[in-house]
Structure 1
Amino acid sequence: MYAPFFDRGYRNLPVEDAVRATRPLVDGAAVSLPPARRLSVVAALRRLGLASDADLRAAARDTWLGHAPAPWTVDRATAYDASHTVLHLTSWGERPDALPAGTVDYLRWWLPAWLEECAQEHDWDLLAGLLAADACLPTPALPADGWARLAGAQGADGAVPAGDVPPTGDRREVFDRVHHPTLVTAFAATVATSRALTALLPGAS
């Protein structure tokens, strides 16, 4: 949670001292973390200047996506982790060229199939996450069909449901069920729009 504030110049020295003191735990066996979670921690440490790009790549190699497994073994949890592996490696789309070439090739082959599966299942939350991952590739596909289907799921109020039927009832409960897919959609759309506009600039490859 601290890294985004640090990026924008908001500092809390006691927090930074505590992070430095506990930094060795991330590398050792004292803290057991799933590979995708460990990657997110290393990514945050990198933003604080306490981990290197090499540390980030090493953590990414231990993730599901880092192993480039048979693509039909994907499930919702591993697809979610894969999208976040891309986000962490690229600093949320800021550094698309930081993705390893092998990962880029793997995703170019298999992202289209996963996107289609999410659209067929009306899993708009995961579809938005995978569209965000696509937008972070060095040369994003920005698939018009996937974006059109996600836009079609959006309600008149701008909210994106997690599944097939928009929730109704208590406003707080509705918010709890739509805030994540809506935020992911907004983020993915922002990155995708930025990449599309950047490609139009003179000299863009």
Structure 2
Amino acid sequence: MTAPRTAEDLRTVAGDALAWVDSRRPDFALGDDALAVDGEVDRSWKPLGELAQVCATVARHTEPSDPLHARARGLLDFAWQETHEGELFLRLQRLEPFATYPLEVYAALASAGLRHPAFEQAAAVVARTRGWRLTEQDPTRRLGVLRAEERCGIHRFGQAPADLPQTWLGGLPEPWTFGRDAGYALTHVVFHLSDWGRDAAAMPLDLVAYLTDWLPPWLDTCLEAGMWDLGGELLAVAAVVARTTGEEAPVDAWQRLVAARGPSGEIPLDDRDLGDLGARPGDGGDRYFLHHYHSTLMAAFAAVLAGARPDAPPAGAVAGQRPDGQGAPA
């Protein structure tokens, strides 16, 4: 496939990615240990929540008649059935009332209109406690929990949360301090602030200007290093920023990501030798799935956002310019 220069090309990337994800439904299914105290959340609830979040965004940005929309809705229905239509969230909440991951996964489904009123009522009771409010979390994770609370009607999300300046991105750091961990942190700050691309206008203008300046070299560095998963997340951030600035999708970056695709449209996390992981293309094993599912979801997420019609630029959102007229910091 050539470099994606049109919305149709981006749709192909998204379509192939979601088709591969759909073919791996059993790998997203919750096992018998979903409610176990010592269960592996990162291999059960986390993949299911990420599937729900990406599909909710795809459904939001596509028309009901669009095959992409139908595929996303089908995967959302699958995820919802895996939770017994939300009943497992209520059981989890009773087992671990101060764990945040049930609320975060539920919120992804709730954003697509899949609700369980009893869980929301129980979660709201716990959220009013000092113990919940004082749970120690890093600032980026805190933004995610606040967004989840908003989706469940527990509180209204402010456009500039108090924790924002404490995040790596919110502090507008020296661009040369960018690294892998900072990259994942900044992408999630953008996802939380923009409600996963639903409300790009909620991005503070100083962050838009900062990202307009520095996102291109960071993206280039990650793709040059074969960091496809982080590269996909940064392409999604580029799409969110573009929805406020009206810029085009970075064609060269998309070309690199497309070249990394597997035979069925799946994308690896990075350039590690799959032989070292005991996995190979077409392998139905767990290792191949774990090395591909998140980066493939991110490719679909980024492609749909990049192909969506840009929002109108907010007043003052000029590349490299902050609201106070100062240039973005170095």
Aligned runs of 1:47-196 on 2, under 5 Å?
Answer: 47-54=151-158, 57-137=161-241, 138-139=244-245, 140-165=247-272, 167=274, 168-169=279-280, 170-172=283-285, 173-195=287-309
Supply the distance in 1 between the matched residues of 2:293 and 2:113 (Cα, whole angstroms). 28
Letter in 2 for 1:164: D
Per-residue deviation, 1:8? 3.5
Q: Which residue of 1 aligns with 2:31?
A: none
SS in structure 2 of the partner of residue 171 of structure 1 = coil
The 3 A distance-change label for structure 1 pair 99 and 41 is same
Deviation at 1:27, TM superposition (A): 7.1
- Give how far 1:12 is off: 1.9
Native 8 Å contact 2:159 2:193 kept in 1: no
Q: Are the equivalent residues in 2 in contact too, given 1:135–1:192 (CA < 8 A)?
A: yes
* More relative contact order, 1 or 2 (CA 8 Å, 6+ apart): 2
Question: What residue number does 1:32 align with?
Answer: 136
Q: Which is further off, 141-150 or 101-110?
A: 141-150
1:56 CA drift (Å)? 5.8
Aligned length: 197
The code of the aligned residue for 1:34 comes to D
TM-score (norm 2): 0.56
Change (3 A) 1:56 1:10: farther
Which whole-Å CA distance do the structure 2 matches of 1:164 and 1:8 have between them? Answer: 34
Which amino acid is the alignment partner of residue 184 of structure 1?
M
Identity %: 37
- In the TM superposition, residue 141 of structure 1 has moved relative to its aligned partner by 4.3
The CA distance in 1 between the partners of 2:108 and 2:121, in whole Å, is 17
| Cα pair distance change 1:19/1:158, threshold 3 Å | same
Gaps of 5+ in 1: 200-205
CA contact (8 A) 1:64 1:81 kept: yes
8 Å contact 1:111–1:134 — kept in the other structure?
yes
1:117 Cα deviation after fit? 0.4
Matching residue's letter, 2:297: L
> 1:119-175, CA deviations, whole angstroms, 9 ceiling, x for partnerless residues?
110101000000001101112442111011101111121110112256334522111
Indicate the structure (1 or 2) with the bigger Cα radius of gyration.
Answer: 2
Structure 2 residues not aligned, in runs of 5+: 1-104, 313-330
How far apart in 2 are the matches of 1:101 and 1:36? Answer: 19
Deviates more, 1:58-67 or 1:150-159: 58-67
Distance 1:26 1:87, change over 3 A: farther
Give me the whole-angstrom Cα distance separating, in 2, the residues matched to 1:27 and 1:39.
Answer: 14
Q: 1:182 to 1:153 in 2, by over 3 A?
A: same
Distance across 1 between alignment mates of 2:131 and 2:298: 28
* 1:188 positional shift: 0.6
After superposition, the CA RMSD in angstroms is 2.1
1:135–1:179 distance in 2 versus 1, CA, 3 Å? same
The CA distance in 2 between the partners of 1:195 and 1:11, in whole Å, is 29
Matched position secondary structure for 1:40: helix
Q: Please name the residue that 2:24 is paired with.
A: none
Secondary structure class of the residue paired with 1:2:
helix
